[in-house]
Chain A
Amino acid sequence: MSACWPTLHMTVNGEDRAVQAPPMKRLLDVLREDLRLTGTKEGCGEGECGSCSVRMNGELVNSCLVPVLQAEGACIQTVEGLAANGELHPLQQAFLQCGGAQCGICTPGMLMAAAQLLARNPHPSLAEIREGLAGNLCRCTGFTRIFESVIAAAAHNAEDSTNRSAEQEADAR
């Protein structure tokens, strides 16, 4: 049967990937089953909980609500794409240090929503963090530590960019 399905191309975490799948298959299932990227979790399956959040062409989406045909040609980033060169992303580091993860089911979605927020707004207020993560439900932590993790990651980024500009200044001299 699979021979009848179209071959769809997308860039996933920077790699070109091709899958053969029914066009109405959920992006979530293609990621988990066809591409074996099981970091993305299914919670509610109806766009309410955010566990399946991934970034698609620079936007945060619930991958359970994306028919894979609509991801044709798209750039997808999943939680597996956050860490680079064997080093955790500052958000992942912050979630570890601040106790932002407990059972872990919501964590990949929280990380992707937080990554989306910081990409648009590197220094969010608490209210902006709450809004950015409002579509991601956690049933363990009570959210406070998750918000603290995002604040810590944003502070780390700020420190990093301060260091970088200090270095650049030093280089310039």
Chain B
Amino acid sequence: MRGNPEGHELIAPGSLAAVLELLSRAPGEWTPIAGGTELMVAHAAGQLRAQKLVSLWGIPDLRFIETSPKSIAIGASTTFCDLRAHAEVAAHLPLLAKAASWIGSIANQSRATLGGNLVNGSPAADSSPALLVYDAEIEMVSVRGRRRIPYAAFHTQYKRNAMATDELLYAIHLPLRFAHHRQYMRKVGTRRAMAISKVALAATALVTNGLVNEIRLAAASLAAFPTRLYQTEAALLGQTIAPDTIQAARNALLAEAQPIDDIRSTAEYRRHVAANLLEESLIELGSKETPR
């Protein structure tokens, strides 16, 4: 069934303050729409449930990349093209720049926003594993004020998040303390472009003389939402990367992962590939010593 444009209201108040006022007056009634790469697909299929939409496109207060010595703040409506074109993102947050290049194609990257990717909350979200291993924080805003939470606490259930109905995702904050960490990220999909991941894994680690002093692992499509792999991390922390620790980490990941069968892959395949990605990441992280 085709969507009927006359069946949906769409307004563009044009400023952040006006959008927040609207969300506050009628909590839950208005659905924010940024680049539309998710909601317009549902609309085309006649499956867009939201009757009232409020446009965030073109609101400058939400589209920015601000760098400071200790962190980078990225406005929620920053597009993946913006991220790919930003020299400091490329230099300091290479996994995020890489994730931006994974999103659909150029025509999607020019419209899809980082905030949209997170609010949409797909378990397969391309930007999520990178944000998780960089300890990202999420800043939300409403007429009541602003608040920040760790990104790791943002997703609460499948397609559910910690935002209240009158809140808007404002910015993603990334600390710049991972410069000396070894970094790894790989996505496995059907093809290189325009493919939603079957499974993806990201890692940042401090490894000295083969010893894992610090490690963060995060995956897409291994659970109902993108998640850190805390138990797998625990199996590695303080250990030396060697065949038996790699095996122990594989076992921890297989115990921790909760993938499902769906149109893109099977739980069995996802488990197997995720464990292989983990092994590959550990061999890479271990072979390249952390620079001092």
Interface residues, chain A, with chain B CB atoms under 8 Å away: 1, 21-26, 29, 45-48, 50, 53, 59-62, 64-67, 69-70, 72, 113, 116-117, 131-132, 134-136
Q: Is the CB of A22 within 8 A of B108?
A: no
Q: Chain B, 1-25, contact with A by CB distance < 8 Å: what is the 0/1 string?
A: 0010111111110000000000000
Known A1-B6, A70-B12; contact A47-B55, beta-carbon cutoff 8 A: no
The CA-CA distance from A50 to B37 in the complex, in Å, is 13
Q: Is the CB of B5 within 8 A of A64?
A: no
Q: Please, could you name 21 A-B residue pairs with CB atoms under 8 Å apart, sorted by A?
A: A1-B6, A22-B8, A23-B9, A23-B10, A24-B5, A24-B6, A24-B7, A24-B53, A26-B40, A47-B40, A59-B81, A59-B111, A61-B107, A64-B40, A65-B111, A67-B33, A67-B43, A69-B11, A69-B12, A113-B106, A135-B193
Known A46-B45, A61-B110, A67-B40; contact A25-B5, beta-carbon cutoff 8 A: yes
Q: Is the CB of A65 within 8 A of B36?
A: yes
Partner of B111 from A48, A66, A117 at Cβ < 8 Å: A66
- Determine how close the nearest CB of chain B comes to the CB of A44; give it in whole angstroms: 9
Q: Is the CB of A131 within 8 A of B110?
A: no
- Determine how close the nearest CB of chain B comes to the CB of A1; give it in whole angstroms: 7
Count, A-B residue pairs, CB within 8 A: 102
The CA-CA distance from A113 to B110 in the complex, in Å, is 12
Q: Is the CB of B6 within 8 A of A70?
A: no
Partner of A60 from B55, B106, B192 at Cβ < 8 Å: B106
Q: Is the CB of A47 within 8 A of B104?
A: yes
Q: Chain B, 67-110, contact with A by CB distance < 8 Å: what is the 0/1 string?
A: 00000000000000100000000000000000000001111101
* Beyond known contacts A48-B194, A131-B106: 7 more, CB 8 A cutoff: A22-B5, A26-B5, A47-B108, A59-B110, A65-B44, A67-B5, A132-B106
Chain B positions within 8 Å of A48 at CB level: 104, 194
Partner of A70 from B36, B105, B110, B192 at Cβ < 8 Å: B36
Q: Is the CB of B108 within 8 A of A135?
A: yes
Q: Is the CB of B104 within 8 A of A135?
A: yes
- Determine how close the nearest CB of chain A comes to the CB of B122; give it in whole angstroms: 15
Q: Is the CB of A60 within 8 A of B36?
A: no
Q: Is the CB of B111 within 8 A of A61?
A: yes
Partner of B106 from A23, A66, A135 at Cβ < 8 Å: A135
Q: Is the CB of B107 within 8 A of A60?
A: yes
Chain B positions within 8 Å of A70 at CB level: 12, 36, 55, 57-58
Q: Is the CB of B107 within 8 A of A47?
A: yes
